[in-house]
Structure 1
Amino acid sequence: MNIVDRFLNYTRINTTTNREKGAAGIMPSSPGQMELAQLLAAELESLGMEDIVLRDTAILTATLPANTDKAIPTVSFFAHLDTSAEQTNDTNAQVITYLGGDISLNPALDIVLKEAEFPEISAYKHQDIIVTDGTSLLGADDKAAIAAIMHALQVLKMNPEIEHGPVKVAFVPDEEQGLRGAKAFDVDSFGADFGYTLDCCGIGEFVHENWNAGNAVITFTGQSAHPMSAKGKLKNSLLMAHKFIAMLPPGEAPEYTEGREGYYWVKELAGNSAKTVLKMDIRDFSKQGYRNRMHFLQQLADSCSALWGEEAIDIELSDRYENVANSLQGEASFPIDIAKEAYARNNIAMKAIPMRGGYDGAVLSQKGLPCPNIFTGAHNFHSIYEYLPVNSLQAASDVVVDVIRITAEKLTK
């Protein structure tokens, strides 16, 4: 099966993550994720993979045994099964030859991918590009990754002269709502030495740093009173919350920051005069910067407590995931070096980018499996204007093959 047909087959299975079921602790949160995992399990078996295990959570793992007696570390590759909840419709993908200018995705509905709005598409003139009909996501996030990994395994099966050590693959559910599949993943029993996710970006991009991420839940407790006799009695928790927000550092919010600039994100505020709950995301690329931000929130809450009374404010701070760079320092940086060489062998200029978000590899790295992130080739994730150049998809798979090849050439236990 060629890589395009493989990808298109995967897009025909609706794997939209279900936020309501996810919030209720159900995994996978949608039946299509299990359906796709079952299809992949059958394909893995046909490719000669061993130790194929499909769990009731839809976490799927398998092993390609080494074809050499050399003691080579076990490399692994990860992709996620679900697609984002921004659109829930079935995907109707189409392959076009892009000649430049705008792309009419759906003439009947007048849905157009405009070059003026997405100028990066001009780099793909005279290439085949996979797009939607404008009524859904494409699902290249992350089915392009699945197709690239599966195609790489097919290449290895068809070319037994390519020497390789043990290769493990894993497909996990519900990445799109809090990296739930990665958080449930058992790294120890998986048995890999290092890994890569494929879950980002245009051709050549590479991620080996992302946020240190945390959450804050701040509860403001006031004192209700009838307005006719409220003077000196009413303590309005909504106003407490607004005063707290006003004391956050100005300009350190997502809408004002870029690159490696951290932020406080006021994400949800709900309540009444008696009780109000504020939910926030805290992000920073450096460990110390992240600690400083969490410490600042605790100090601010303590100061407000001294001002309004001990019962007026309660703060809960928790960590969500770490920067993958924390796991790729010094001698542990070799997965980056292998990827650099794999890109170079395919004449791809590596563009390392700091990811202003989280991905499964951050959680896996924190669990002890160093896991930077390779491109899939797709653009405009979470949008009806998502598109995937075919050459970029093939390049992602070629990089996977060369990572496996270079691991066998360069590393021994």
Structure 2
Amino acid sequence: MDIVDRFIGYTKINTTTNRENGANGIMPSSPNQMELAKLIKKELEDLGIKDISLSEKAILIAKLPSNLDKKVPSVAFFAHLDTSAEQTNDTKAQIVKYEGGDICLNEELEIYLKKSEFKELENYIGDDIIVTDGTSLLGADDKAAIASIVNMLKYFTENTDVKHGEIVACFVPDEEQGLRGAKALDASKVGTDFGYCLDCCGIGEFIYENWNAGDCVVTFTGASAHPMNAKGKLINSLLMAHKFISLLPNGEAPEYTENKEGYFWVKELSGNSAKTVLKIDVREFDDQKYKKRMQFLQDLADGLNKVWNGKVDIKLNDRYENVYNYLKNDNAPAIVYAKTAFKNLGIKPIIKPMRGGYDGAVISAKGIPCPNIFTGAHNFHSIYEYLPVKSLRAASEVTKEIVKLVAKD
């Protein structure tokens, strides 16, 4: 099966993550994630791969043993089964030959992928591009990754004369709501020396830095009183929360920052005069700066508690870490092999920090250093998501080349 047909086949299975089910601890949060996992398992079995496991949580692990007479590092490739919840409609993928200008996604609804808004389209004039009909996500995030990995395994199972070490493919559910599948993964069952997620965007993107991420929940307990006799009695928890927010550093919020600039994100405020809950996300690339941000919030709560007699309760939680904390430096094998693969294939690496998280952040902390390779798609989480066919093929070629390079060492 051609990689394009494989990808389009995956898009026909609606694997939208279900946030309500996820919040109730259900995994996978949507049943079609398991259906997709079963389809992938069947495809891998048809390739002759025998060491395959599929858990009740839709975590699929497949291993292709080494055909070398020497020991080389084992490598894993990761992708997620779910698609984001911004759109829940079934995907109706279509392939267009891009000749320039705008792309009509849906004539009836007058939905266009506009060159004026997505200037990178100019890079794909003359290419085939996979798009939606404008009513759903495409799901290249992350089904392009799944297609690339399965296509790579197909190559090595059909070309047994090509040398390779152990290759592990791992597919997890519910990445789109807090990296839940990666958190549930037993990394010892993967057991490789390092790995790669395929979960970033246009051709050439290569990511090995992401946020250190934390959550902060502050609960302010006031005291209720009727306004007719509130003087000296009413303690308004809403105003306590407002005071806390006002003491955060000016300009250190998502809307004011870029690149490697960290922030506090005041994300949610709910309550009344008696009790108010404030939720803040903390993000920072540098590990020490992240710790300082978390300590700042703790110190702020402690200081206000002295004024308000213990009416502030703060809970700080680490969500995920920067992958670079585990890669240590740019000479890490996972980085070197990927950069060499890009060079050998004539792909210019676009190295950038990810102002977000991905499964590799959790997987790296479990002992498998795991940078992030492009899928080739653009506009994740949008009805304007699109995937150039050449980029999809390139993503799979990178995985093949990495495996070949490891086998040569």
TM-score of the superposed pair, with normalisation by structure 2: 0.99
> In structure 1, how many angstroms separate the alpha carbons of the residues matched to 2:121 and 2:230?
61
State the Cα distance separating 1:334 from its structure 2 match. 1.1
- Write the distance in 1 (CA, Å) between the matches of 2:340 and 2:278: 46
**Maintained 8 Å contact 1:48/1:64:** no
Q: 1:274: which partner in 2? A: 274
Offset at 1:72?
A: 1.5
Deviation at 1:332, TM superposition (A): 6.9
Which residue in the other structure is 1:216 paired with? Answer: 216
For residues 13-70 of structure 1, the C-alpha deviation after alignment (integer angstroms, 9 at most, x for no partner) is: 0000000000000000001100000000000101121221010000000101111221
The amino acid that maps onto 2:54 is L
Give 4+ residue runs of structure 1 displaced > 3 Å after superposition.
none
For residues 357 and 116 of structure 2, the distance between their equivalents in structure 1, rounded to whole angstroms, comes to: 29
CA contact (8 A) 2:217 2:316 kept: yes
1:253 equivalent in structure 2: 253
Residue ranges of structure 2 left out of the alignment (5+ in a row): none
* Code of the aligned partner of 2:182: A
Specify the SS of the correspondent of 1:121. helix
Structure 1 match to 2:262: 262
- Secondary structure, counterpart of 1:108 in structure 2: coil
**Structure 1 residue 377 displacement after superposition:** 0.3
Q: Check if 1:77 corresponds to 2:59.
A: no
* Equivalent-residue separation in structure 2 for 1:286 and 1:330 (angstroms): 13
Report the Cα offset of residue 330 of structure 1.
Answer: 4.5
**Equivalent position SS for 1:265:** strand
The one-letter code matched in structure 1 to 2:172 is V
How far is the alpha carbon of 1:303 from its aligned partner? 1.0
Note the C-alpha offset of 1:189: 2.5
3-state SS of paired residue (1:22): helix
Of 79-88 and 60-69, more deviation after overlay is shown by 60-69
| Equivalent residue number for residue 313 of structure 2 | 314
1:340 maps to a residue whose letter is K
> Is 1:163 aligned to 2:166, yes or no?
no
Aligned ranges 1:96-135 → 2 under 5 Å: 96-135=96-135
Do 1:50 and 1:65's aligned partners in 2 also have CA atoms closer than 8 Å? no
Per the alignment, in what secondary structure is the counterpart of residue 137 of structure 1? coil
Gapped regions of structure 1 (runs ≥ 5): none
Aligned to 1:184: 184
- The answer to whether the Cα contact below 8 Å between 1:212 and 1:286 also exists between their aligned partners in 2 is yes
Distance across 2 between alignment mates of 1:303 and 1:331? 41
Aligned to 1:402: 401
Question: How much does 1:331 deviate?
Answer: 8.8
- Cα shift at 1:191: 1.4
Work out the CA distance in 2 between the residues paired with 1:379 and 1:122. 13
SS of alignment partner, residue 200 of structure 2: coil
Question: Which residue of 2 is the match for residue 346 of structure 1?
Answer: 345
Alignment-mate amino acid for residue 184 of structure 2: A
* CA distance in 2: counterparts of 1:29 and 1:58, whole angstroms: 10
Contact 2:330 2:336 survives alignment (8 Å) = no
Q: Is residue 336 from structure 1 mapped to residue 306 from structure 2 by the alignment?
A: no
Alpha-carbon distance in 2 for matches of 1:41, 1:215 = 36
Question: For residue 362 of structure 1, what is the aligned residue in structure 2?
Answer: 361
* Matches of 1:272 and 1:103, distance apart in 2: 49
Contact 2:76 2:190 (8 Å CA) reproduced? no
- State the match for 1:233 in structure 2: 233
Aligned position for 1:2 = 2
What is the CA–CA distance in structure 2 between the aligned matches of 1:103 and 1:23, rounded to whole Å? 38
Per-residue CA distance 1:96-115 (angstroms, 9 max, x = gap): 00011111100000001111
TM-score norm. by structure 1 comes to 0.98
Which whole-Å CA distance do the structure 1 matches of 2:43 and 2:133 have between them? 28
| C-alpha distance in 1 between matches for 2:285 and 2:6 | 36
Deviations 1:54-91 (Å, cap 9, x if unpaired)? Answer: 10000000101111221111101000000000000000
What is the count of residue pairs matched by the alignment?
409
Identity in percent: 65
SS at match of 2:261: coil
Q: Contact conserved, 2:260 with 2:285, CA < 8 A, in 1?
A: yes
